[in-house]
Each structure stands twice: as C-alpha cells, then as structure tokens.
Amino acid sequence: MKQRTIYQFILILFSATLGITGLESCESNDCDQKNNFKEIEVDINVERLEDDLKRLKDVDKTLAFFHENRIMTDFFLDANQYPNDTILARRLYRLLQQPSIDTLISDSKTYFSDFDKNIEELTAAYQFIKFHYPDAKVPRIQTIVSGFYNDMYISDSLIVIGLDYFAGQNGRYFPNDIPRYIVKRYMKESLSPILLSFISNEFNLADQSHGTLLADMVNLGKSYYFVEQALPCKADSLIIGYTTQEMHAVRTNQEIIWANIIENEMLYETSHFLKNKFIGERPNIAEISENCPGRVGAWIGWQIVRKYMDQNPEVSFTQLMAETDAHKVFQKSNYKPRNEAN
C-alpha cells in the first residue's frame, strides 16, 4: 500500500510539473565564462569529406577515396565486414547516385554552415583536457554524409562525424533505425557534448568492482562532470540530452526520484535488467512515472558527483577521474536531494 501511494504521488507531481514547461529542445544559456586555458596550443585539423563524395564518378574513384581515408573506411564504413573493398565501393557508389543523397548533403551542409563554432567548442575542450592531461592526443576530425550508415567513430587520433545523423530532426530525412526520442538529441548544439562524453572514457576510470546501480550512476555522473568542466558554457540539458521540459521535471522532483530508488532498494542492485531501467535508453521510467525521462539514474549520479566535488574541495579534477570507488564518492558527497523551485 505504501509503494502504491508513493507511485500515485509521483505521478501527480510529474504531471503537474510537466504541465508548466514548454517544448523547447534546450535551455537558454547566458554563460560568458572565458576560456581559462586558451594559452594552450591546440590545432584541430578538419577534413570535410562530404565535399568529396559527389566527385566520385565511378567505382575506381570510390576505391581511391577509400585508400586515401583508410581508417574512416575500415571503422566508420566497416570495410572489414566485406570480403574486399570493391563490394563496398559499388554499394557506396550506387548510394551516391540516389537523389536523396544530394538532399542529405545539402541539408547537412546548410544546417552545419556554422560548423566552425563546433570546432571552437572542441578546441576549447581539448585545451582544458591538455591542461589536465598534457600527454593527451588531439585527434583530427573528418565529417561525412553516409546516408545514415553511421553516426560517429572516435579514437585518440581520429574522429569521424556523420553529419546527416547530427542534423537530427532538422533535415528533410532522419534515421529510421533510431527511436524518435533519441533522434531529437542529435543536433549541432549537442554534437560536442556527445563526442566528449565518449572521449571522457579515456580518462574516467570506472568502478568495476561491484557492478551495482550506484557504481554505474557514479561512473556516468563522472562522465557528465567531465563534459561540463570541458564545456562550462553548455546547458545541462544539452549535456545529458534532456529537453527543457524533462530537465524541469527531474530538478523539481529529485527528492521523489531518490525516494523511489531508496525505498525499492535499487541502489545496490546488480541485475543488469533492473539497472538498465534507471540508466539505460528508454523514453521514460514507468517504474517512477510515465513522465519521468529515461536515464534518470545517470542524472542522479551526476548530482552526486557534483556534490562530492563541492563537499571535498581538496579533490582535483584528475583525482576525481582516477577515483574507482563509487561508494566512497557517494558517502563523501553527503548527497541529500532537494527539489529545485525552477
């Protein structure tokens, strides 16, 4: 009976909260913080491969394009899954003859006409990374339009970005293999946070000793903290991929979300199936409320990490990233959620 009452209360609160906000895809952000690491030299080399695609007039030229861009071909276009490059080249060449590809390239180039802003963000982020990790490599970047074949490839030496994916719902076409609630996150303002969340894995040492929901929450929270420190002017909604509406819901109901996790004894749960209900990709978390956005456990983990850093100013950024004891982070955070008024 107690649990039913909690669920009913949560539903009422979330429904009331969601009725307040609009449908914007991101928050307004008036941050004017300057780049404190601009003296660190970072030069990101960018190659716009989508400009080369329409110059591929036959299969032989497509094969030459593969040869010139070997890593992209092998890992972004998955050439190693084919018996030989010729088969892939024929498929890509046929694809490039489709009128829809012209539209995708045109829409992507128009939408990313200010792509230099993304490079400025990534440059500032790598200046931050190089300050804390002087030996970190700065990858070159290639952009391409592949007919929604792939969204990105990331290594320490090369990043490949499928611009047609990151046009999201802003083009005339959008990927059919990704749920719409995920597609809406794919926009140019989200590109740098998404890339950096993956890049953070190189530096963020995860707690793999217990396999609990708490450990997963803190691991993800450290990743979001990495992104917010590297991109200090980015809105929280763009870092985690929530709408303004969803951000308002979790902020104003975080006590209720936390109470649900605690009262249902989920914090030290080790079942992957049960953990994914709180940190996996889902349009909502029905166990809390139909209106509670998915991955809310990751958002709570982010708040725990923030609180840990606030409560322990002697801990440096690199020490946080090297910390593999999620329970310690939680205990020393003194995390006690309070609903935010706005």
- Residue ranges of alpha helices (H) inside 29-98 are 50-53, 59-68, 70-71, 85-96
Tell me the mean pLDDT in the region 247-264.
91
How far apart (Å, rounded) are the C-alpha atoms in residues 303 and 193? Answer: 17
End-to-end Cα, the chain, rounded Å: 31
Residue with tokens 């669920």: 7
Q: How far is CA 209 from the centre of its chain?
A: 25
Flag whether pLDDT at 10 surpasses 70: no
Do strands 140-144 and 158-162 pair parallel, antiparallel, or not at all (unpaired)?
parallel
The count of other CB atoms within 10 Å of the CB of residue 205 is: 13
CB contact at 8 A, 238 and 189: yes
Instruction: Report the run of H or E that residue 122 belongs to, with start and end.
Output: helix 115-132
In terms of Cα–Cα distance, which of 141, 135, 139 is closest to 116?
141
Mean pLDDT of 109-137: 96
DSSP character for 79?
G
Beta bridge partners of 140: 158
Name the residue with higher pLDDT: 164 or 175: 164
3-state secondary structure of 32: coil
User: What residue spans define the domains of the chain?
Assistant: 46-202, 205-333
Q: Model confidence over 71-91: pLDDT tens digits?
A: 999 999 999 999 999 999 999
- Which of the four pLDDT bands, split at 50, 70 and 90, describes residue 189? very high
Phi, psi of 161 (to 5 degrees): -120, 125
Tens of pLDDT, residue by residue over 196-211, are: 999 999 999 998 888 9
Query: Tens of pLDDT along 260-293?
Result: 999 999 999 999 999 999 999 999 888 888 888 9
Distance CA 79, CA 72 (A): 9
Cβ atoms within 10 Å of 297's Cβ, excluding its own: 25
**Quick count: other Cβ atoms within 10 Å of Cβ 314?**
5
Percent of the chain with pLDDT over 90: 69
Q: What is the pLDDT of residue 295?
A: 95
Dist. CA 274–CA 277, nearest whole Å: 5
How far, in Å, CA of 229 to CA of 237, rounded?
15
> What residues contact residue 18 under an 8 Å CB cut-off, 6+ apart?
245, 248, 249, 291
